[in-house]
Structure 1
Amino acid sequence: MARRRIAEAAILYTIGSLGYCLLELSWRGYTHWSMAVTGGICFFLLYQIDVRFSHRPLLWRCFAGALAVTAVEFAVGCVVNLALGWGVWDYSRMPMQLWGQICLPFFLLWFLLCIPVLGVTGVLRCSLFRKGEGRAP
C-alpha cells in the first residue's frame, strides 16, 4: 500500500512538473527549474482536491484549485524571488497583486485552467488509480 501511494505521488508529481513547464514555455517562451518543482506540487494538490471533493461541483473545485495553486506560487515566489532574489517572475505591474508574487488576473486564469486539469485528474483518478466516485482515497 505504501509503495502504491509513493508511486502514485511520483506519477502525479512528474505529470505536474512537465505540464507546468510546458505551460510556461508556451505562455512565456521560457521557464525555470523551480517551476518544475512548483508544478509537481500544484498538480498533486489539484489531484487531492479532485479525490477528496469529487462530490462537489466543478466550479467549487476550480475555485479551491485556483486558491491552492496561488498559495503555492506565493510561497515559492517569496522564496525564489524575494528571499533568494532569482527574479523568476514579477507581477508588480499587474493589477491587484501582492508583493509582485501573485495577482488576481493569474488567479482567474488558474481558475479557468483548473477545468481541463481537473478533467485530467478525474481520468487519472478513475482509470489509472481506480479511485471512483464515493470511494475513500
Structure 2
Amino acid sequence: MMKQILKYLFLWLVGGFIYIGMEVILRGRSHWTMFTLGGICFVVLGLINEWIPWQISLFKQMFFGMLIITFLELLTGCVVNIWLGWNVWDYSGMTGNIMGQICPQFSLIWFWVSGVGIILDDWLRYWLFKEKCPRYTIL
C-alpha cells in the first residue's frame, strides 16, 4: 500500500513540475494551483490504461486525455477563478470559451499534451515501477 502511495505521489510531483515548467516557459508565470492540477492530470492520464485496454489506439487515449484535462481545467477554473476569485487564467477573450475557463483552442493543445503525458507515464511506470512494457497502436 505504501509503495502505491509513493508511486502516485512521485507521478503527481512529476506532472506538477512539468506543468509549472510549461507555463513558466510559455507564459512567464504560473500559480501553485497549476502545480496541483498538472499533477492530478498526469496521474489521471496514467490511469487511462487501467480503465481501458492497451489495444485502444494512442489517438483515442489522447482524445480521452483531452476530455479529462478539459473537464479538470473547467472544474479547477470554477473553483479558483470564479468561486475564490484568484484570476489564475481567463479565456473569456477566446472564441468558443465556456465561462472564460475552457476553450476549444486549449482543448486541442491538451490533446497533444496528453499524448506526451500518456507516453511519459507509461515509460516511467515501466522503468521505475516495473509495470508492463508500453506498446501502442497509433490509429
Fold agreement, TM-score > 0.5: yes
| Equivalent-residue separation in structure 2 for 1:63 and 1:41 (angstroms) | 17
TM-score by length of 2: 0.90
Amino acid at match of 1:18: F
What runs of 5+ residues in structure 1 fail to find an aligned partner? none
Aligned residues: 133
> Corresponding residue for 1:41?
40
SS in 2 for 1:98: coil
> Corresponding residue for 1:88?
88
Q: Percent identity?
A: 37
| Equivalent-residue separation in structure 2 for 1:66 and 1:91 (angstroms) | 17
Amino acid at match of 1:7: L
SS in 1 for 2:30: coil
What runs of 5+ residues in structure 2 fail to find an aligned partner? 135-139
> What CA deviation, in whole Å up to 9, does each residue of 1:20-51 have, x standing for no partner?
10011111110001101111111110111144
> Corresponding residue for 2:75?
75
> Corresponding residue for 2:112?
112
Q: What is the root-mean-square deviation in Å for CA atoms of aligned residues?
A: 1.4
Contact 1:51 1:125 survives alignment (8 Å): no
Contact 1:21 1:36 survives alignment (8 Å): yes
> 4+ residue stretches of structure 1 with deviation over 2 A?
50-55
Contact 1:97 1:103 survives alignment (8 Å): yes
Contact 1:51 1:131 survives alignment (8 Å): no
| Equivalent-residue separation in structure 2 for 1:51 and 1:24 (angstroms) | 28
| Equivalent-residue separation in structure 2 for 1:11 and 1:75 (angstroms) | 23
